[in-house]
Structure 1
């Protein structure tokens, strides 16, 4: 995992970033920084989800065997 942060914490921070960007009241430079952080957080969330999906798939294949 690229950064040690829980799925829940990453999702919560990402939600806050989206709200700030959607408000439109953020200067351009800060918007770019927020966007970059949001991209990293989205990737972290996807890593967590992919890992969970792989665990479920492995568990299913074990029970089906």
Structure 2
């Protein structure tokens, strides 16, 4: 699988998620040789961790926005994704 795959740390959340979906699709297809399956699984795990880190960072930013001026939560606000 050593194609010129982009550096995971440089991927946007959306690009990393698409790459992870592609890895899952290929693994579920069952047509990948064992060694390549292992490489795909390892890349998939790195992509999953990258996506989770991006989600955690986004959540932290949202929580900071909803905090009151004293730093205490001032309530909840819906996240519209836009």
For normalisation by structure 1, the TM-score amounts to 0.91
Unpaired stretches in structure 1, ≥5 consecutive residues: none
Larger RCO: 1 or 2 (CA < 8 Å, sep 6+): 1
Between Structure 1 and Structure 2, whose CA radius of gyration is higher?
2
Q: CA deviation at 1:62?
A: 3.1
Structure 2 stretches lacking a partner, 5+ long = 1-7, 75-82
TM-score (norm 2): 0.73
Number of residues paired by the alignment? Answer: 63
Q: Return structure 1 stretches of 4+ with deviation > 2 angstroms.
A: none
Instruction: Give the Cα–Cα distance (whole angstroms) in 2 for the partners of residues 23 and 42 of structure 1.
Output: 19
